């Protein structure tokens, strides 16, 4: 099928869609990028939208550049979104200047296609007990990213400033990835960046449960055991949750069900 408009999404778990569970789909997730693509196709039926999602959870910057950039260019995109580098910031040591140098080269390749290019800043994780420790790194990353984005004629989706994500109801049970409402909200943010009037309805969030101190302690202990422990263990072993996964939508397809 000949697609007049071609949207390709690149990155890690953020773009793959973790936290927005759908057992009927590849890797059992949906995510904001799928939802954005669907809305674009619905809003512009005459353009024949094609959509590919090359993102895989756990991928670091160099992996995204080496495994996804050329594949995306080959699809001749008219729209590209990319989120990369946060998994690098979570490592004990990272050279952020070198990271941005690599990112700039990758973005230049994508920009060379003539596609509209949207790049995300890292989130301000000041409210997270685990990820608040990298807030300073993320701020430096974001500041350098602003220069890189401007230098490559891309557009910035400023996730760092999306304060609604301080509400834990927009995060999944693992407290590391967005929940379904969080993914819907992100899709709407991207649609707004694109200048689209369409929005995905977001159901009213359930009231926050009031927890006693002992209940909170038990919740945190269970969360540490079930999510933080395995996450730390993978990093100590040098493995990733995405090592045996393939891209969800590696070829252009209609984003409509």
Report all structural domains of the chain as residue ranges with CATH numbers, in order of start: 5-205 (3.40.50.1110), 209-240 (no CATH)
Produce one character per residue of 97-106: b if its CB has 16 or more CB atoms within 10 Å, e if not: eebbebbbeb
CA-based Rg of the chain, rounded to a whole angstrom? 18
By mean pLDDT, which of 78-82, 206-210, 229-233 is the weakest? 229-233
Specify the pLDDT at position 219: 64
Say whether pLDDT at 236 is over 80: no
Alpha-carbon separation of residue 98 from 16, 24, 102, 164 (angstroms): 25, 39, 6, 31
pLDDT for the residue numbered 41: 97
pTM over 0.85: yes
Q: How confident is the model at residue 206 (pLDDT cuts 50, 70, 90)?
A: confident
Residue 242 in this model has a pLDDT that exceeds 70: no
Residue 19's pLDDT band, with cuts at 50, 70 and 90, is very high
Chain segment 34-81, per-residue pLDDT in tens: 999 999 999 998 899 999 999 999 999 999 999 999 999 999 999 999
Residue 224 reports pLDDT greater than 80: no
């Amino acid at each position: 099928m000949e697609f007049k408009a071609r949207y390709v999404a690149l990155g890690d778990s953020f773009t793959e869609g973790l936290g927005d569970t759908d057992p009927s789909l590849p890797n059992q997730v949906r995510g904001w990028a799928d939802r954005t693509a669907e809305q674009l196709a619905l809003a512009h039926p005459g353009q024949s939208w094609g959509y590919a999602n090359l993102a895989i959870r756990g991928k670091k910057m160099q992996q995204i550049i080496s495994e996804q950039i050329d594949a995306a260019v080959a699809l001749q995109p008219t729209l590209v979104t990319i989120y990369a580098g946060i998994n690098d910031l979570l490592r004990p040591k990272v050279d952020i200047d070198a990271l941005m140098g690599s990112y700039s080269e990758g973005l230049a390749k994508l920009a060379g296609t003539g596609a509209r290019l949207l790049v995300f800043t890292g989130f301000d994780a000041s409210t997270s007990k685990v990820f608040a420790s990298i807030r300073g790194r993320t701020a430096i990353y974001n500041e350098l990213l602003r220069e890189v984005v401007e230098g490559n004629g891309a557009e910035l989706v400023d996730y760092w400033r999306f304060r609604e994500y301080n509400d834990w109801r927009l995060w999944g049970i693992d407290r590391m990835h967005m929940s379904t409402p969080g993914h819907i909200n992100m899709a709407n943010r991207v649609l707004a960046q694109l200048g689209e009037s369409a929005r995905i309805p977001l159901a009213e969030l359930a009231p926050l449960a009031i927890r006693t101190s002992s209940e909170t302690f038990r919740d945190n202990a269970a969360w540490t055991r079930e999510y933080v422990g395995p996450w730390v263990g993978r990093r100590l072993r040098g493995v990733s949750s995405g090592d045996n996964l393939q891209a969800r939508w590696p070829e252009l397809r209609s984003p409509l069900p």
